[in-house]
Amino acid sequence: MQKISPRHRLLQWISCAVLAAALLATARADDQPQSALPKDRACDRACLYKFLDQYLAALKVKDASRLPWSKAARTSENNVELMIGDGLWGTISKLGDYQLRFADALNGEVGYFGAVEETGAVSPFAVRLRIEDGRITAAETLVRRKADEGNVMAEPKFLAKPVLNEVMPERDRLPRERLISIADGYFDTLQLNDGTLFTQFDDNCNRVENGVQTTNNPDLAQLSFSLTLGCAEQFKLGNFLFDDRLRARRYPLVDVERGLVLATAFIDHSGRLGTYKLTDGRVTESHYRRPHSYYLIELFKINKEGRIRQIEAVFMTVPYHMPSPWFHQP
Query: What does the pLDDT read at residue 330?
Result: 66
Q: What is the pLDDT of residues 222-276, one digit of tens each?
A: 989 999 999 999 999 999 999 999 999 999 999 999 999 999 999 999 999 999 9
Say if 39-149 and 162-318 have the same CATH topology.
Answer: yes
Q: What is the pLDDT of residues 164-187, one digit of tens each?
A: 999 999 999 999 999 999 999 999
Stretch 312-317: mean pLDDT, rounded? 97
Confidence band of 215 (pLDDT split at 50, 70, 90): very high
Task: Note the CATH number of domain 162-318.
Answer: 3.10.450.50
Q: What is the pLDDT of residues 18-29, one digit of tens each?
A: 334 433 333 333
Query: What does the pLDDT read at residue 243?
Result: 98
Q: Are 317 and 292 in contact (CB under 8 A)?
A: yes
User: Is 57's pLDDT higher than 60?
Assistant: yes
Dihedral pair phi/psi, residue 165, rounded to 5°: -105, 0
Query: What does the pLDDT read at residue 10?
Result: 42
Q: Where are the domains of the chain?
A: 39-149, 162-318
Query: What does the pLDDT read at residue 268?
Result: 98
User: Is 296's pLDDT higher than 60?
Assistant: yes
User: Is 12's pLDDT higher than 60?
Assistant: no
CATH of 39-149, one of 3.10.450.50, 3.60.15.10, 3.40.50.1820, 3.40.50.300: 3.10.450.50
Query: What does the pLDDT read at residue 147?
Result: 83
Q: Which residues face 273 on adjacent strands?
A: none
One-letter amino acid at 174 equals L
Q: What is the per-residue burial (b if ≥16 Cβ within 10 Å, else e) of 63-100?
A: ebeebebeeebbbbbbbeebeebebbbeebeebbebeb
Query: What does the pLDDT read at residue 327?
Result: 85
User: Is 11's pLDDT higher than 90?
Assistant: no
pTM exceeding the 0.95 threshold for the entire prediction: no
Stretch 89-118: mean pLDDT, rounded? 97
What residue spans of 126-175 are helical by DSSP H? 146-149
